[in-house]
Amino acid sequence: MSRFLIECTYVFHHPEMNSGIQRVVRNIINHLPKLQDEAVCIPVIFKNGKVFEVKQLAPEHADDWHGRSRRTLEKAAQKLVQVRNRYWLIHSRLLRFRPWTASHNVRRVTYILCRLASVSFVLPLYLTEWILRKTEEQPRAFEMECRADDVLVLLDSSWHADFFPVAEQLQQQGVAIVSVIYDLIPLTHPRFCDGPLVQVFDRWFDWIANTADGFIAISSTIRDEVRDEVQRRLGKERADARWFDFFHLGSELDRLDPNQSVRPAVEKIFTPGRAIYLMVSTIEPRKNHAYLLDAFERLWQNGSDVVLCFIGRIGWKNERLIERVKKHPELKRRLFMFNDLSDVELEYCYSHAKALVFPSFVEGFGLPLVEAMQRGLPVMASDIPVFHEIGGEFISYFDLNQPESLCRQVRQFEDSGIFPATQDMADWSCLSWEDSTRQLIERVGRHGVERQMQIQQHVRSECHETDHCSE
């Protein structure tokens, strides 16, 4: 039986992160044990050019001083490893040009000088790794051997990773590589991303397009985009040699600590009779918070007392928006912003709000939509294909070119009490994270079986032709 090696390197080293991809990775990994009777699934990380089996995804004391100190050292070690790898990559590229190609002595001197210069980051790296080894209470991952029939599922965000040569070596040994794709936004909508990310993501996708045996996206919308992009880069014949599929995400919040309470500042805004409209996401241009401000300003000008609440950490390219919020006359009256809510507080907001409003320009899935709907909170969202796939007729859609489109829906909801969607939320059903995990493993496994059958048919066909020719 093939083993599924589920890669979670970034989340393993950054257990404090709680944005979209980290939520997905953590929930998938935590639900793998429930599939143990159906498939052999092993969480793995890459470290120092080797594969490690993860026994515990997060440290036991992740939030105390010791845990925070270790995370700081781990981040420093990762940065130093990246510097080391890029440094020697530049060195290897220099050797392709003159005068290095023409003289062995020049190459030798350059190597010695580079070795001496590398001390500036090699010594701090060795020291950091030594401290981490000495202060580790209990190892959370152990080195393991891979088998030729293993399936490596790259679940985590790997575009900044440095394990590509190891993955290629495993593939040469027979390990199949499957890439989970969350979206292609840095390629399709680069204006919403930082410049360095666009370049890094483009190089990563070029590598994964040429390397992976299959791709599984988090929606059929993204699956189709991935197929088109791989075909554009590799050509139809090579793209057809790979498989493309999708799975959907779960909806439970996994960090609901019963010992945590909701801050009074959060509870305070949810007074009885108050209509709170939530926007839950990282604050960055793609999420289109400015559209919501425009729409709700119109509502306020027309006498409405509806409340708009932004929930999510502050991201990038948002200085003007943050300044606009902080200086807004309705701030802490009919406009609120929370950048550090716990899952307990987010659950409270979902449970006490009147609706979620989600005006994203583009998404890979839209996790807050299913989190809200799973709790019975109706959703108003931008009219984009992936939201139709996820929410169907249970969501009310508005036009991103017309803030008045959202205003009309809010007014209609406030005046009638009837949510302006075609189907009733009571009839909607969602996937749990266990369902999502099972869907991912089953679909990856199915394609693996189909792949093996194709290979066997090809071998039998070749054998038949050989026997026929020998006759």
Looking at residue 396, its pLDDT comes to 97
SS3 category, 445: helix
- Tokens 């190459």 correspond to what residue? 107
Dump pLDDT digits (tens) for 164-186.
999 999 999 999 999 999 999 99
Domain final residue, candidates 246, 273, 291: 246
Distance CA 256, CA 348 (A): 10
Q: Report percent pLDDT > 70 for the chain.
A: 90
**Which tokens go with 297?**
């300003």
Distance CA 81, CA 101 (A): 28
Cβ distance 448 to 176 under 8 Å?
yes
Looking at residue 286, its pLDDT comes to 94
At 471, the amino acid letter reads E
Between residues 216 and 200, which one has the greater pLDDT? 216
Do 222 and 328 fall into the same domain? no
**pLDDT of 133 over the 70 cut:** no
Domain final residue, candidates 211, 246, 281: 246
At 213, the amino acid letter reads D
Q: Give the pLDDT mean for 56-70.
A: 69
Between residues 59 and 24, which one has the greater pLDDT? 24
Do 176 and 317 fall into the same domain? no
Q: Report percent pLDDT > 90 for the chain.
A: 63
**pLDDT of 234 over the 80 cut:** yes
Min mean pLDDT across 256-260, 294-298, 345-349 is at: 256-260
Dump pLDDT digits (tens) for 186-200.
999 999 987 788 989
Looking at residue 111, its pLDDT comes to 82
Do 236 and 293 fall into the same domain? no
List the alpha helices (DSSP H) in 189-219.
Answer: 195-211
Min mean pLDDT across 153-162, 311-320, 462-471 is at: 462-471
Note whether residue 152 is domain-resident.
yes
Q: Give the pLDDT mean for 10-21.
A: 82
Note whether residue 117 is domain-resident.
no
Looking at residue 92, its pLDDT comes to 67
Q: Could you tell me the CATH number of the domain that includes residue 227?
A: 3.40.50
Nearby residues of 381 by Cβ (< 8 Å), 6 or more positions away: 356, 357, 358, 359, 360, 366, 369, 387, 391, 395, 396, 397, 398
Note whether residue 404 is domain-resident.
yes
Do 15 and 52 fall into the same domain? yes
Do 287 and 360 fall into the same domain? yes
Nearest to 377 by CA among 430, 319, 324, 454: 430
Do 281 and 382 fall into the same domain? yes
**Which tokens go with 310?**
């932004």
The rounded mean pLDDT for the chain is 89
At 185, the amino acid letter reads I
Helix (H) or strand (E) holding 418: none
Do 25 and 162 fall into the same domain? yes
Note whether residue 464 is domain-resident.
no
* Neighbouring C-alpha atoms within 13 Å toward the C-beta of 277: 26
Note whether residue 403 is domain-resident.
yes
Do 178 and 313 fall into the same domain? no
Q: What are phi and psi of 293, to 5 degrees?
A: -60, -45
pTM, full prediction? 0.81
- Tokens 């009147």 correspond to what residue? 354
Cβ distance 170 to 151 under 8 Å?
no
* Neighbouring C-alpha atoms within 13 Å toward the C-beta of 182: 19
Do 286 and 335 fall into the same domain? yes
Q: Give the pLDDT mean for 369-385.
A: 95
Return the axis-axis angle of helices 289-301 and 403-416, rounded to nearest 10°.
50
Give the count of domains, the chain. Answer: 2
What domain range is 25 assigned to? 3-60+138-246
What is the DSSP code (8-state) at residue 50? E
Dump pLDDT digits (tens) for 401-445.
999 999 999 999 999 999 999 999 888 988 999 999 999 999 999
Do 192 and 276 fall into the same domain? no
Nearby residues of 228 by Cβ (< 8 Å), 6 or more positions away: none
Cβ distance 282 to 295 under 8 Å?
no
Looking at residue 73, its pLDDT comes to 79
**pLDDT of 63 over the 60 cut:** no
Distance CA 130, CA 126 (A): 6
Domain final residue, candidates 212, 246, 280: 246
Q: Could you tell me the CATH number of the domain that includes residue 306?
A: 3.40.50.2000
Do 197 and 310 fall into the same domain? no
320-346 CB burial, b ≥16 within 10 A, e <16: ebeeebeebeeeeebbbbbeebbbbbb
Nearest to 379 by CA among 410, 333, 414, 339: 410
Q: Give the pLDDT mean for 200-229.
A: 96
Note whether residue 409 is domain-resident.
yes
Min mean pLDDT across 53-62, 88-97, 143-152, 299-308 is at: 88-97
Q: Band the pLDDT of 454: cuts 50, 70, 90.
A: low
**pLDDT of 350 over the 80 cut:** yes
Looking at residue 466, its pLDDT comes to 56
Dump pLDDT digits (tens) for 16-32.
777 789 999 999 999 99
What is the DSSP code (8-state) at residue 26? H
Note whether residue 361 is domain-resident.
yes
Q: Give the pLDDT mean for 105-132.
A: 84
Return the axis-axis angle of helices 20-31 and 367-374, rounded to nearest 10°.
60
**pLDDT of 69 over the 80 cut:** no
Do 230 and 315 fall into the same domain? no
Note whether residue 86 is domain-resident.
no
